[in-house]
Amino acid sequence: MPSIRMQCASILFVASLVLTAPADAQTLAITGATIIDGTGRAPVSDGVIVIEGGRITSVGRAPGVKIPGAAKKIDARGKYVIPGLMDANVHLSLSHNLNVETLIRFEDRFDEIVVESAQVALKNGLTTVFDTWGQMPATMKARDRINAGQAQGSRIYLAGNVIGSDGLFAGHFLIKSSTENVSKGTQERIDARYAQGVGSRLQLMTPDQVRAAVREYIGKGVDFLKYQGDIGATIFFSPRVQKAIIDEGHRANMAVQAHITSAEEMHVAIEAGIDIITHGEMPIPPNIWPPELIREMVEKNVAVSVLPFTQRRLDAMEKYSTGPTPSGTDLVAFYKSGKVNRRNMIKAGVRMLLSTDAYLNNPDILPEPVALQADVVDPDRKIGEAHFNAVVALEEEGMDRMEILKVATSNIAKAYRVDANLGTLEAGKIADMVILDANPLESARNYRKISAVIKDGKVVDRDPLPLAPLITAKK
Amino acid sequence: MPSIRMQCASILFVASLVLTAPADAQTLAITGATIIDGTGRAPVSDGVIVIEGGRITSVGRAPGVKIPGAAKKIDARGKYVIPGLMDANVHLSLSHNLNVETLIRFEDRFDEIVVESAQVALKNGLTTVFDTWGQMPATMKARDRINAGQAQGSRIYLAGNVIGSDGLFAGHFLIKSSTENVSKGTQERIDARYAQGVGSRLQLMTPDQVRAAVREYIGKGVDFLKYQGDIGATIFFSPRVQKAIIDEGHRANMAVQAHITSAEEMHVAIEAGIDIITHGEMPIPPNIWPPELIREMVEKNVAVSVLPFTQRRLDAMEKYSTGPTPSGTDLVAFYKSGKVNRRNMIKAGVRMLLSTDAYLNNPDILPEPVALQADVVDPDRKIGEAHFNAVVALEEEGMDRMEILKVATSNIAKAYRVDANLGTLEAGKIADMVILDANPLESARNYRKISAVIKDGKVVDRDPLPLAPLITAKK
Amino acid sequence: MPSIRMQCASILFVASLVLTAPADAQTLAITGATIIDGTGRAPVSDGVIVIEGGRITSVGRAPGVKIPGAAKKIDARGKYVIPGLMDANVHLSLSHNLNVETLIRFEDRFDEIVVESAQVALKNGLTTVFDTWGQMPATMKARDRINAGQAQGSRIYLAGNVIGSDGLFAGHFLIKSSTENVSKGTQERIDARYAQGVGSRLQLMTPDQVRAAVREYIGKGVDFLKYQGDIGATIFFSPRVQKAIIDEGHRANMAVQAHITSAEEMHVAIEAGIDIITHGEMPIPPNIWPPELIREMVEKNVAVSVLPFTQRRLDAMEKYSTGPTPSGTDLVAFYKSGKVNRRNMIKAGVRMLLSTDAYLNNPDILPEPVALQADVVDPDRKIGEAHFNAVVALEEEGMDRMEILKVATSNIAKAYRVDANLGTLEAGKIADMVILDANPLESARNYRKISAVIKDGKVVDRDPLPLAPLITAKK
Amino acid sequence: MPSIRMQCASILFVASLVLTAPADAQTLAITGATIIDGTGRAPVSDGVIVIEGGRITSVGRAPGVKIPGAAKKIDARGKYVIPGLMDANVHLSLSHNLNVETLIRFEDRFDEIVVESAQVALKNGLTTVFDTWGQMPATMKARDRINAGQAQGSRIYLAGNVIGSDGLFAGHFLIKSSTENVSKGTQERIDARYAQGVGSRLQLMTPDQVRAAVREYIGKGVDFLKYQGDIGATIFFSPRVQKAIIDEGHRANMAVQAHITSAEEMHVAIEAGIDIITHGEMPIPPNIWPPELIREMVEKNVAVSVLPFTQRRLDAMEKYSTGPTPSGTDLVAFYKSGKVNRRNMIKAGVRMLLSTDAYLNNPDILPEPVALQADVVDPDRKIGEAHFNAVVALEEEGMDRMEILKVATSNIAKAYRVDANLGTLEAGKIADMVILDANPLESARNYRKISAVIKDGKVVDRDPLPLAPLITAKK
């Protein structure tokens, strides 16, 4: 926790920025800070970043950078500027929170939930998030409104459906199993918002048929592709069908990722040319990756999004565990394996992307003991909170602190093919950045000490976010 | 079915009434009809009924009744006038239709559902209904709006909660068992609308404590009392507690009824002084009433509301039966016993009240085969339809047709202690009546042949009812 | 725990008895002990008990009692002799242990399970137990074999079925709900062993029909009657039917008890003339008895069998509680209410009978955390162990120690109408007694310190019991 | 049905054989019959088959075959001799009949159940069956006893476990889902009999580790290998792991088959080198095979075991269907797709093996309507009956009758690599054959008209089979 004095300093600092910030065309100059630009290059002290028209126009050490006369100056002495944080895997339209009550009550307002999620994320330094599964139309609407400046929030890139996955009801995705209370009509209406024509029927198609379906799906306006790699340790699509999906993504210049939780399927997907393996260290059933697999990840330079959680959380899970889930999953063994795999992958130099699988947490809906603990002990799937714990986990698992910054910024931008505009503090890039009160290269805990968040060259007024909460509203 | 010609005649007949009907203070004279006044007296042919200020001011054979000059005359030659029909047991705020989806989607609009139900009832000749369980606040609001002339619909009397019964979730009342998907907060909020402080905790109270709770409950504005007599064949309240509840109802000049499904509990409730036994012929588990019990009903002159259903429906149930329900109930045996009991009770002269337990039927929510059949084969719990089948069932079970009319009108008014104003076509009574195109004393099927419905002295414009459907809206 | 030295002394003491014990016609004289005879009279030090032909022939202070020459003398100086202990409520053919696997595997060997239970009981000082529900034929067979000297074990009196209760499958008695895996034929075959013609169908009968069914049931050879008083707080049989059952029991000179868990039903049963209320302090749902009810128990001098458990157990339950059961029962609140009720009843002077509801505990079948705890923390339903904790619980709840002894002996004999032969150490009574190493009037914990058990005038060889274990066999 | 006269003739015919059959070393000559030898060659009328030492020593048209003097002659004029029938896929130790009750009651007697199944099969002309999943030890014991002449029954070849599959409880294989009533110890004990060290843990292994596990498994004495190809449409083992399993089987000169139900997985398994696809026309979810897949089957000459069922059965299923199963499977659509696929595969010339998935049917355990119908309408999974319906189905689906015979004999022998000894009526082969009263090349219904079954050169006494029924015993 920052000291009270530091907190107050930050508040005043931002308040002044917000109050004096002119309209869209604002020119800004951040001065006096240590700049850690996300490329892996050494930090630059007494740095200057000039922002014009929402982009970085120059960045460097103080005397060498020319500050335009019209620039509003932000005095950031003693502070640290890093690229805007990213999360490679979130679910803005909820995920483990999904239940019948929420779905029906908010059926026509899920775009507001997405905006709410994106605002909680932005408030906590995430300027860009990658939504890897959810209600496509609602998430797209929120994305477009944010991009058009009609709503605040993190910049959103979205996969829409996980190709191969059916909707909530048909796919048995709800946290509680019973859907008997929901009429068939409502089930189908809601499911259609998820499946978007690329549900499990694709398993029954020939490679050419799958190719056509994916092409049509891409046309709906998603930003990248994700497909179902496996279910537990069974392989969802045959190798040649996986190749067909990946081809189609690449043809549209999109990154393609797959949900995978088993070692053999990772091998299959890597052979098929996958760009990103989602939560590529978390095995179902619990399992330790064989060294061959980790070597293959490194050799093929595949990006692996990971879900780091702290030892403190793992200890709490073990302590409060009541044994395997009704369906037989031993969650503690699952998490333990994940931690071992991550350590081994870090040591071997696997290219990682920070991710959290996070969503808004509604305690009224998920009141289980463990979930309650989640508010106390390092939540790993709570949006706005999980990424702070994830960087601490990577640190405790032995990752170099400069690498951690890349894992949370430029690695993600590259893997998702958006690095022309995002991910580092370099001239020409969109001006997304976070100003910290303490040095993230000294402790990963310092990512929490946010002084200001700048997105699109504008200082974010963080305090009132989220502006119109539905899920996190105080009851 | 009436012939096309008859139907057209009726349509024109009503159209003319509606078009020419003046405002509230209207004086009406119905002439030329055969009047069957609901007292059991012989029909009066060429009858005249004069209505002023919403009440019947005189009634009798043509030349002997003076018609005020200002009266709007309704020429009802060839038709039959009977008192407005009543249903002693309905559930306007739904019942077997209740599920999580409906509850959440319409949480704040149940008063509209009650009005919708009341309008469907009124359209089909039911000018007064007795709601024996449901959401008290919503039903009360609808009752008051109808009574104030702010909404159309049957006149409503309501019990609110069944004393001893918890809300939907706590009491496991929903058609599907799982309530896991509903947050605790929502469950409690909805349950409170039902339980109203007289839930199952009363079982743990002393007679004096129960008395106090019931007194407080009466103060909320309900019209009569109903308590839980038994659950299956187990007795819900001890004899002395039953006496306490009945005493409190009588002290407030209310009729008191009990939900009872077992013979021994009927004996206990009769001894305790009950006024009305709800569905007093339907046994859980299936059972034939011993002759002693039927003798006791007659001797104590207790009113028994019954749920008559036709042999045709019973045959369909048997044909489509898939065996006992998951909880082991053999519905066919249950219905068969009910029919035998009713026949025996009719033969012995038990005082009956026509009832249906009916509610609005939403096929999207109850799409089971049997429910679908309900639309085809004599529904017995569908509001607006069930009472027409019930009178036919009584006829086929051997009840005298004049008695059937009383069972559907004056018997109910007396048992519920509202016979000073309702139940017969006598001077001084509120002008609620139904004009039929065919003689109900010739066939119980003629109750369907409604030519006009008059409530509070005004002709009801039946065609557009229900005016703003929620549950029965076309999808 | 007794000291090692004391234990050794006891072992040698018994060993000598067993080795030298002559055949059936043995005459015994116990000398030197303090005799506490179970009548409530003051203890007699330096007492002598003479046993001939299995009965006590004289008892008194040393010099005043003549010891026959042929008598085998037992030198019990420093020890305490009390009547054989009794348990007013056990389930020798298992109860909460019942599951499909056990039922099928041991279908034809339940009499052996009953003998095993009776041997575990006898080993721990219970010379007589009252089996209040179970497999009637198996329990009867075991009873008869023990009475005929063909098997060792506690003396058994049995109720057979709880009148009104169906078998395991029909009555949903199994610890796990699913019975789908069992064929209909097997279900019916096993159920018939329980229901014995007095199942729930009796609820549908008239009082006269119930009377006839109970009379027929008595003819099967049961020793006392028990009927279903309530289920939760609903009343199972109407007052007049309860009277009919009680009348039939009394006509056969049997004690009649009822399973009751609610205050109002206790009032109803007491009015109907019940002899014994089973677990008459344990309320479902949790509830504190009103003072009126406790007064009524005292005034009518009804016997109440109670299930005392220690505060230590209650604390453990609360600590390990995971909330209400799936069916909504809050077990901790239930146990807490029970303890409060018991304290209030002790203070008011209600006539109590010690009972445990105990059965053999198979950890392979009931491996739940709480059950495991039961082995550690004062089990209250484990046969051979539960009664030792029960007397300690009564002591901590304020019961006088002399009263505790009566509650565990003579009170039970009287309530079950077997006091002509059992329950006290008086001349003419059957020679059932327990010799303790320490004074039970000093601490209820001393009941555990058994030096010897004598049943029917013979010293029991306790060590090898149970002789041929099925349920408690080491795996 | 054969005429009464024909039946009597057959009975006498066999009776005479059985009565006069000498001991093991018997030499037999079947004369006068039409011989259809299973190779596809034209039938030979007035044929002679000479059997010595359990093997066929010569076969041909009458005058050309020398009959040893010592030969017992069987006059088979007017009859038809075919090779002993085979079933490529049975479950002798039960399958869809499996439930907790059976497992516990017969835990130590499953070898008797296997023998019972093999006797029912043999009685109906199946001289060899391939058991593709079951209790390995029990099935092996039965196999060895039959091979040693200690028990009668079909010749058994067994796979033991399906590699990748866990036991009944862990693998959720039981017909009813709940296993809560079974103690952990019993579950593990029974599961171990199935899994045999090659359960689902193999999914987590590297190819080399799988190879080692399979090698060890082969050492236990199974006759061929079967692995889990897919679950629904998800692929169970990666292509390279499938190759490893197939390699190990081939190294031990075993046929390798896989359970497969999806088109893409068939492609994967064929590429991996599979010998036999199990029920290769039955798609989960329902699906029509793309023409590419069928072409691939033909080109790679893979053997496909099929489960043919008649249109009559399909019609009955559709008529009695109550919709999808609780888990969402639409069985009617599944069966319909299977029939279409089979027709298409027959037309394309896919090499097929007749199979049934059959097991003993216990009506006490599977009393569902559909199961009952199975006794009336062409059962497709009832051992001893299903294969008769399967050949009729193939005929109605357009398969040439000579091909049908090969599908039921020599095709199976070749695919399972046992054609050196079995599958045709050629000199040197083991003397397994069926004598029919009518020509199977005229109607597939004629396979039912069995006159005699000869196995290992001996005429089978079919009437008393099964000799000691457990599952099919009359209750």
Query: pLDDT tens digits for D296-347?
Result: 999 999 999 999 999 998 988 887 776 776 666 788 999 999 999 999 999 9
Residue D8 in this model has a pLDDT that exceeds 70: no
**Measured distance CA(B53)–CA(C114) in Å, rounded:** 81
The per-residue pLDDT for C183 is: 80
Percentage of residues in chain C having pLDDT higher than 90: 77
The per-residue pLDDT for C175 is: 53
* Angle value at C-alpha D218, between D195 and D202, nearest 5 degrees: 45
* Tens of pLDDT, residues D159-174: 999 999 998 888 766 6
* Mean pLDDT in residue range D440-462: 98
Structure-model confidence comparison of residues D266 and A172, the more confident one: D266
**Measured distance CA(A309)–CA(D420) in Å, rounded:** 61
User: Which of A101, A106, A177, A361 to mutate: most B Cβ within 10 Å?
Assistant: A101
Closest chain A residue to D291, measured at CA: A206
* Mean pLDDT in residue range C263-281: 98
Q: Is A468 on the interface with B (CB under 8 A)?
A: no
Using a CB-CB cut-off of 8 Å, the residues of chain C touching B203 are 233-234, 262, 264, 285
* Mean pLDDT in residue range D374-402: 90
Q: Which token pair is B7?
A: 């139907």
* Mean pLDDT in residue range B384-400: 97
The per-residue pLDDT for B331 is: 87
Structure-model confidence comparison of residues B105 and C282, the more confident one: C282
Closest chain B residue to A182, measured at CA: B101
* Mean pLDDT in residue range C61-67: 93
The per-residue pLDDT for A331 is: 87
Tell me chain A's radius of gyration from C-alpha atoms.
22
pLDDT band at B475 (very low <50, low <70, confident <90, very high): low
Q: Is B238 on the interface with C (CB under 8 A)?
A: yes
Residue B319 in this model has a pLDDT that exceeds 90: no
Classify the phi-psi angles of A281: left when phi > 0, otherwise alpha if psi is within -120 to 50, otherwise beta: alpha
The per-residue pLDDT for A8 is: 43
The per-residue pLDDT for B461 is: 98
Residue D24 in this model has a pLDDT that exceeds 70: no
The per-residue pLDDT for A11 is: 47
Contact D180 C180 (CB under 8 A): no
The per-residue pLDDT for C440 is: 98
Which residues pair with residue B131 across a beta bridge? Answer: B90, B158
The per-residue pLDDT for A20 is: 38
Q: How far is D22 from chain C (nearest CA, A)?
A: 45
* Mean pLDDT in residue range C34-62: 97
The per-residue pLDDT for D25 is: 57
Of C99, C183, C184, the CB nearest to D181: C99
The per-residue pLDDT for C170 is: 83
Residue D279 in this model has a pLDDT that exceeds 50: yes
Contact criterion met (CB below 8 Å) for A238 and D268: yes
Q: Which amino acid is at C437?
A: D
* Tens of pLDDT, residues D41-60: 999 999 999 999 999 999 99
Residue C327 in this model has a pLDDT that exceeds 70: no
* Tens of pLDDT, residues A244-290: 999 999 999 999 999 999 999 999 999 999 999 999 999 999 999 99
Using a CB-CB cut-off of 8 Å, the residues of chain B touching A104 are 100-101, 104-105
Residue C20 in this model has a pLDDT that exceeds 70: no
**Measured distance CA(C273)–CA(C301) in Å, rounded:** 11
The per-residue pLDDT for A90 is: 98
pLDDT band at A100 (very low <50, low <70, confident <90, very high): confident
Contact criterion met (CB below 8 Å) for D462 and D456: no
The per-residue pLDDT for D369 is: 43
Tell me the range of A9-18, A179-188, D148-157 where mean pLDDT is highest: D148-157
Tell me the range of A10-14, B267-271, B364-368, D330-334 where mean pLDDT is highest: B267-271
- Could you report how far apart the first and last alpha carbons of chain B are, in Å? 27
Using a CB-CB cut-off of 8 Å, the residues of chain A touching D204 are 233, 262-263, 283, 285, 287
The per-residue pLDDT for A21 is: 38
Q: Is B284 on the interface with C (CB under 8 A)?
A: no
Closest chain B residue to C233, measured at CA: B203
Using a CB-CB cut-off of 8 Å, the residues of chain B touching A99 are 181-182
pLDDT band at C349 (very low <50, low <70, confident <90, very high): very high
Query: Do strands C450-455 and C458-459 pair parallel, antiparallel, or not at all (unpaired)?
Result: antiparallel
Structure-model confidence comparison of residues C348 and B21, the more confident one: C348
Residue D6 in this model has a pLDDT that exceeds 50: no
Residue C249 in this model has a pLDDT that exceeds 90: yes
The per-residue pLDDT for D180 is: 66
pLDDT band at D178 (very low <50, low <70, confident <90, very high): low
**Chain mean pLDDT for chain A:** 90
* Mean pLDDT in residue range B309-324: 83
pLDDT band at A169 (very low <50, low <70, confident <90, very high): confident
Query: Do strands C126-131 and C155-158 pair parallel, antiparallel, or not at all (unpaired)?
Result: parallel
Contact D234 A203 (CB under 8 A): yes
Q: Which amino acid is at C169?
A: F
**Chain mean pLDDT for chain D:** 90
Q: Is C231 on the interface with B (CB under 8 A)?
A: yes
* Tens of pLDDT, residues C94-141: 877 777 888 888 999 999 999 999 999 999 999 999 999 999 999 999
Q: Lowest mean pLDDT of A324-333, A460-469, D406-415, name the range.
A: A324-333
What residues contact B218, with CB distance under 8 A and at least 6 apart? Answer: B225, B248, B249, B252, B254
Burial class (CB in 10 A: 0-12, 13-18, 19+), A470: middle
What residues contact A331, with CB distance under 8 A and at least 6 apart? Answer: A317, A321, A324, A325
Q: DSSP secondary structure string, D162-216?
A: -BT---TTTTT-SSSS--TTS-HHHHHHHHHHHHTT-SGGGGGS-HHHHHHHHHH
**Measured distance CA(A357)–CA(B234) in Å, rounded:** 52
* Tens of pLDDT, residues D232-247: 999 999 999 999 999 9
Could you say which residues from 146 to 205 on chain A have a Cβ atom under 8 Å away from some Cβ of chain B?
Answer: 174, 176, 178, 180-186
Contact criterion met (CB below 8 Å) for D147 and D126: no
Q: Lowest mean pLDDT of A358-362, C271-275, C401-405, name the range.
A: A358-362
Q: Lowest mean pLDDT of B419-423, C50-54, C365-369, D460-464, name the range.
A: C365-369
Using a CB-CB cut-off of 8 Å, the residues of chain C touching D104 are 100-101, 104-105
The per-residue pLDDT for A222 is: 98
Q: Lowest mean pLDDT of A366-375, A379-388, B288-297, C36-45, name the range.
A: A366-375
Q: Lowest mean pLDDT of A135-144, B52-61, C62-71, name the range.
A: C62-71
* Mean pLDDT in residue range D105-130: 96
Q: Lowest mean pLDDT of A333-342, B248-257, D183-192, D361-370, name the range.
A: D361-370
Contact C475 D185 (CB under 8 A): yes
* Mean pLDDT in residue range A62-73: 93
**Chain mean pLDDT for chain C:** 90
Q: Is A262 on the interface with D (CB under 8 A)?
A: yes
* Mean pLDDT in residue range A353-379: 69
Chains that touch A (3 or more CB pairs under 8 A): B, D
Q: For tokens 């070393």, what's the residue?
A: D25
Using a CB-CB cut-off of 8 Å, the residues of chain A touching D200 are 233, 285
ipTM: 0.91
**Measured distance CA(B378)–CA(B312) in Å, rounded:** 7
Residue D11 in this model has a pLDDT that exceeds 60: no
The per-residue pLDDT for C376 is: 59
